[in-house]
Chains A and B, each alone.
Chain A
Amino acid sequence: MTLDIKKIRADFPILRLTINGNPLVYLDNAATTQKPQCVIDAITAYYTSTNSNIHRGTHHLSNLATEAHEAARKTVQAFIHAEHDHEIIFTSGTTESINLVAYSFGEAFVHPGDDVIVTEMDHHSNFVPWQMLCKRRGANFRVVPIDENGELRLDVLEGLLSDKTRLVAFNHVSNSLGTINPARKIIRMAHDAGAAVLVDAAQSVQHIEHDVQALDADFYAFSGHKIYGPTGIGVLYGKETWLDAMPPFQGGGEMIDLVTIEKTTFNKLPFKFEAGTPNIVGPIGMAAALDYLNALDFADIKAHEDEVFNYGHQKLLGIDGLTIYGSAEHHTSILSFNIEGVHHYDLGTLLDTQGVAVRTGHHCTQPIMTALGIEGNVRASLALYNTKEDIDSLVSAIHKAMKILGK
């Protein structure tokens, strides 16, 4: 079955906007995705008829809010095929999910002289927390480089893995290049060396099939706002055995069992890792987004995004002096490029003036930019509602920008 893109576009009210008199062409989906009406409605309905604090009230609304919040946890569990719903921790986003593991796993299991491995293509969010952990614990921070196609050097990873490796963290999909990393293979290699694995799924979960048990990931993190849900809500999946063995991340309400002046005992999973009143509506909005996607087929989403990507790839390469970065065999729908003699800020600014939203800069991946020998580039990142017409608008806006830049 193919997707009815016209109908899908109609579900996203923001796509009807005009910017500077031009229809919005939104190609910055790796930064954040737009929200379908059902997500907006779920949030409005929550505040209109359910709002209350959860897990503590005896009154009607508190029970309703708790039920809705916990139902969302089950929706996430089913979406990523986790074994238990208490393995789903709600966080503010991928960044907090990773910081939680870097802190709590690090406290319990990373010691002086141990190794933690990340990759050169990781987002700063999956790079800096590990660098900080290694500094704090006196551990060694190891980085797997990329090759000229923008793929991970698994031969280097093989050489780095040892009985000193405590954890390997990598992104399933690169936010700068779109490379899909061979997650199962990397996880198997790490497990063979006795290391735990964190998968940063921020750029994969909205594009490709996801099954934490099939992957055998120990930790798996993603953000609601990149999967058509609201901002400020994210997920950390962790295997029960790991989460049980880790100390809490933050102290406060909700995460406690019994507090005395002498000591505090902690609540059970998942609440041990959810201190304070949580983002109550966030999971509800995110669950509405996941339900929206559940009505579609990920094979269809990937096929559609691939088709628009391939069209865009071919059209962009037709522009004189244009270089596309990343040529991995398996990739999502990210078009990262520069045009010879044109600064990415200039191109991004002139595209914006024509209603075309792209990202410019280093995309929070300075190590990749260093590896590519550039300061930054222009990134057009596609989502399920993008079309070949969007690509045509991008290309014609590039031509107009080049004219203004005197090229």
Chain B
Amino acid sequence: MASIQEIQSAIIEDFSFLPQWDERYAYLIELGQKMEPLPEAYRTEENNVRGCQSTVWLHRECRDGVMYLQSDSNSLIVKGLSALLMQVFSGQPAGEVVKADLAFFEETGLSKHLSSQRTNGLMAMIEKIKAFAAECASGKK
């Protein structure tokens, strides 16, 4: 499996082929729609990450120190952004997830969605992934 760094580089490259903003958003939305549907059973209160405006569901599993993630959102753009996070983090060793930075948001021009406004739940989602990764890496999960 490719490393977190390699996957981020591939994402940055994919977006570099899409200079127009509308193409970038259309691509982002397509990524979200291509994600495997989140099973109903995973839409639990515990998996619900509330943003001020949109809701994200985040299912987390830890097996032998490796993170497995699935997500969904009622906003297509947030769903697309979460699909990128799934690509980067799901299937990775938890120890690597703890250390990872998310440079690709800046490089793809999507970082405004990470603003401090908490509007879309994306920041809260990243915090939950990181916190879970720390537990997974330390063998608590």
Instruction: Give A residues with C-beta under 8 Å from B.
Output: 20, 343-346, 349-350, 353, 360-362, 375-376, 400, 404-406
Q: Taking A400-B22, A405-B76 as contacts, is the C-beta distance between A345 and B29 under 8 angstroms?
A: no
B42 within 8 A of A: no
Bound Cα distance from A130 to B122, whole angstroms: 33
Q: Taking A361-B52, A376-B53 as contacts, is the C-beta distance between A345 and B22 under 8 angstroms?
A: no
Interface residue SS majority, chain B = helix
Q: Of A345, A350, A404, A405, which one neighbours B53 at CB under 8 angstroms?
A: A345
Q: Taking A345-B119, A345-B120 as contacts, is the C-beta distance between A20 and B75 under 8 angstroms?
A: no
B32: shortest Cβ distance to chain A, in Å? Answer: 10
Extra contacts besides A343-B76, A343-B77, A350-B77 (8): CB < 8 Å: A20-B21, A344-B53, A345-B53, A345-B120, A350-B25, A353-B21, A375-B53, A404-B22
B52: chain A residues within 8 A (beta carbon): 361
Q: Of A343, A353, A362, which one neighbours B74 at CB under 8 angstroms?
A: A343
Q: Taking A361-B52, A361-B119, A376-B53 as contacts, is the C-beta distance between A343 and B75 under 8 angstroms?
A: yes
Residue interface bits B16-37, CB-to-A below 8 A is 1, else 0: 0000011001100100000000
Task: Kindly report which residue of chain A lies nearest to residue B33, judged by CB atoms.
Answer: A406
**Which of B26, B52, B77, B113 has the most C-beta atoms of chain A within 10 angstroms of its own C-beta?**
B77
Q: Is the CB of B29 within 8 A of A406?
A: yes
Quick one: which of B50-95 are within 8 Å of A by CB? 52-54, 74-78
Q: Is the CB of B78 within 8 A of A345?
A: yes
B76: chain A residues within 8 A (beta carbon): 343, 346, 405
A344: shortest Cβ distance to chain B, in Å? Answer: 7
Bound Cα distance from A405 to B22, whole angstroms: 10
B22: chain A residues within 8 A (beta carbon): 353, 400, 404
Q: Of A346, A353, A406, which one neighbours B75 at CB under 8 angstroms?
A: A346
Task: Kindly report which residue of chain A lies nearest to residue B23, judged by CB atoms.
Answer: A404
Task: Kindly report which residue of chain B lies nearest to residue A348, judged by CB atoms.
Answer: B53
Bound Cα distance from A20 to B21, whole angstroms: 9
Bound Cα distance from A375 to B41, whole angstroms: 23
Q: Is the CB of B26 within 8 A of A404?
A: yes
Bound Cα distance from A353 to B25, whole angstroms: 10
